[in-house]
Structures are given as C-alpha cells and as structure tokens.
Amino acid sequence: MTNNILAWCKSVASITPARWFSLVQSVPLELLTARPAPDEWSALECLQHMTEVEAVSFPVRIKAILAGQPFPAFNPADRPKKLAPTIALAGEFNLLRGQTLALIASLTEGDLEKQGLHAEYGWVTMSQLLHHIAAHDLNHLVQAERAIMQPFIQGSGRFAVNYTDHTVKTIPD
C-alpha cells in the first residue's frame, strides 16, 4: 500500500499551498487569528508553523537523507519568538513549498530506502519522511480548520452533538 508514496506525497504536498490560499483569502481575519483554546494555535499560527517547517526542516531533511547524513530535530517550542502571523504567509509558504516540491520531484523509487539519522528518532528512511510530510500537511490543515470551526460549533446549539470530534475542550480555571 505504501509503494505509491512518491505519487501520494506529491499530490498532497502540491495541493497544500492552494488550500492555504483558499483559507486566507476567503475566511475573515478574525476567524483566522482566533485561538480555539489558550494553548492551541489559531489557523494563521498553523500556517506560520508550516512556513517555518518549509524553510528550515523538510528540505534539510530530504537533502540529509539523500546524503546519508544526520539532521537535527525540530521542536516548534525551541524556535525563536516570531512576529504575529499574517495572511502574507500563504505566499511565502507557496514559494518555499515550490522548492520542496522540486526536491520531491527529483526523488526516485531507489531513494525511498535511503536513511538519515534524526537527532530524536534515530534512523529514518526517505519513505518515512515522505509519509510524514503528507501527514504533517494534512494534520495542520485539519488543525487550522478545527480552530476556525469553534465559533460555529459553539453557536450551533443542539446541533453541536454532531461535532464532538472537532470540539476543542477547554480546561476550566
């Protein structure tokens, strides 16, 4: 089932910038910047994270694995403080993603079993990284949409039972 990872990852990674553009161009800024809970990211904070990953993580990891070299872990909490995110990040993400897509397009089936040493997880293959890239994209798109959903869920009254899988639980003080 995973022997199609090159095509699958390309398809998900290719559509992600358009999905972000669609969100930031059509959803009001108030919804894009609303955090669903104090320790949860807003949709724009998700995009900010995605942009940072495109700048300093995914291309570095692809190149390291191709070279059989170690590469550092990436923890958003360890990164320098960032400016407040803006919708302009969608354009920056798109440019950076284009570079990552060029790297992915250069990969062959023979590259899938190449390995690099991840500072936290140990030896990982290119195939595993490609699975991670696609899952990471989808995860943060879902997270962003989930953040945007919260005011709609809260205002849906009795219909809210239909959204229990997407309701962000807040811990009372």
* Average pLDDT over every residue of 111-118: 97
Q: Which domains does the chain carry?
A: 2-148 (1.20.120.450)
Burial of 12-45, coded b for 16+ CB within 10 Å and e otherwise, reads bbeebbebbeebbeebeeebbbbebeeebbbbbb
- How would residue 172 be classed by pLDDT, with cut points 50, 70 and 90? low
- The percentage of the chain sitting over the pLDDT mark of 90, rounded to a whole number, equals 87
pLDDT at residue 76, as a whole number: 79
* Average pLDDT over every residue of 154-164: 95
pLDDT at residue 82, as a whole number: 81
Contacts of 11 (CB under 8 A, 6+ apart): none
Does the pLDDT value for residue 1 go beyond 50? no
pLDDT digit string, tens, across residues 35-87? 999 999 999 999 999 999 999 999 999 999 999 999 999 887 777 778 889 99
Q: Position 95: which residue type?
A: L
pLDDT at residue 80, as a whole number: 78
Contact present, 104 and 9 (Cβ < 8 Å):
yes
Does the pLDDT value for residue 171 go beyond 70? no
